[in-house]
Amino acid sequence: MYHKSLSRRGFLQGTAGTVALAAAGMPFLGAQQAYAADLASQELRTVGLSVTVQERILNDFKAASGVRSVSGKADIFPNTQTELLSGSTAYDCWEIIAERLPSIVQTDLVAPIPVSSLTNWTGIGESFLKPSDKWEPRAQITGQIWTDESQTELYMVPSVYNFDSIGFRPDLVDAEEAAMWSSLFDPKFKGKTGLNVDPLIAFGQAIMAMNELGLLEVKNPGNPDPAAVEEAAKFLISKKKEGQFRALWGDFGELVNLLASGEMILADAWQPAVMAVKAQGVQCSYATMKTGYRGWAIGVSALKSSPNFDAVVAYADYWLSGPPAVAVSEQGYYSPNDKVRNIMAPEKYAFWYEGAPWVGPEERGIKEGDLRDGGSLATRAANVAYWHQWPDEYDLLIQKWDEFLSA
């Protein structure tokens, strides 16, 4: 399922920055009774982005499952990867992004979770079950989360996914311009754009932009060959030296503040940041990308070193139950399971998932009649340029990213 062996040096080499995401809690509605009988003797210690590692969600899981104790740590993916590969046994599971799964699969740190142990697996979306003809299996989510083609065990139980875009100020940038990845690098916006500090994100964006500009022709920007990595690095370094970027942002709050103040008028962004800017009464939109979005998924991976496997399975199952998905759905993310439909208010589900107009009082900058940027889930899913994956040239990419940071 996974491609070539990856060096331990490459795994351990991380990059600075924070990709923490602000998130609001949501009660877990209805106790789940299908968990292992001995959960009262187990604990759950999880680590992941703050989009999923939320105190309210963890507390609700504890109350619903009967697990003895629950704790969570919010941290960026490169930091956790380095910590685990250095031998840490501080966690029972990693709420990992699928593209980084090879780092722990090939180092034998994962305990696969059988689908048969997940009572809420029914209703999972086709994107996680059926490969698309558009990409080879390993270049999409179905080729990353399963242990083999029989689809009986999962390296990662998906909990959250989305299709990322550019956040922009529509009062300062035309929507047509913002719909191009190359706009992040356009001299017209010199000193006013933002780039994410995660190299697996930034290189993909640079390559998408270079494809649009006719400087490269890379079919899968998530897995560039050595020549494309070299060219993208030169491009990024030249733009940095020209003063193109207002910030290499890593912190959610920093991104929100820069967009809200107008210091940064377009940037690679998570949809909750756009929502947070709108909630301040400032115009902010999420672009509909002409050449496509970047697809990604986060989920629960059980760590072999954990003595609390049943608690991890219960936690993964809880994420699929519906209620925790409401919290992330109302930030602009998606649940991989359709159970969220039965828990969300119908008018909110229609807005977030089906492209219907907002109904009811204004909420966080969303007003009566507003539409979700990009439209329905089906519309957005049909416009994915590539899914993030672990690149074959990871070591070279990280080497070039370090050169970019120090340029």
pLDDT tens readout for residues 156-196: 999 999 999 999 999 999 999 999 999 999 999 999 999 98
Question: b/e per residue, 151-183, with b = 16+ CB within 10 A?
Answer: eebbbbbbbbbbbbbbbbbeeebeeebbbbbbb
Q: Which residue from 222, 146, 175 is spatially nearest to 393, judged by alpha carbons?
A: 222
Specify the higher pLDDT residue, 321 or 234: 234
- 326 Cβ neighbours under 8 A, 6+ residues apart: 26, 340, 343, 344
The answer to whether the predicted template modeling score (pTM) of the entire model surpasses 0.75 is yes
Q: What percent of the chain has pLDDT over 90?
A: 79
Please state, in angstroms and rounded to a whole number, the distance separating the CA atoms of residues 12 and 314.
30
pLDDT band, very low/low/confident/very high, at 249 (cuts 50, 70, 90): confident
For 189, 281, 366, 370, the CA distances from 362, given in Å and listed in that order, are: 32, 11, 5, 10
| Cα 232 to Cα 203: distance, rounded to the nearest angstrom | 7
Task: Give the C-alpha distances (Å, rounded to integers) separating 252 from 106, 124, 242, 276, 352.
Answer: 31, 29, 25, 10, 21
Q: Is the pLDDT of residue 294 over 50?
A: yes
Q: How does pLDDT run across 140-164, given as a tens digit for each residue?
A: 999 999 999 999 999 999 999 999 9
Confidence check: pLDDT of 112 > 70: yes
Let me know: does 326 contact 339? Beta carbons within 8 Å: no
Measured between alpha carbons, how far is 367 from 386 in angstroms, rounded to an integer?
Answer: 32
What residues are paired with 248 via a beta bridge?
195
Q: How far from chain centre, in Å, is Cα 69?
A: 27
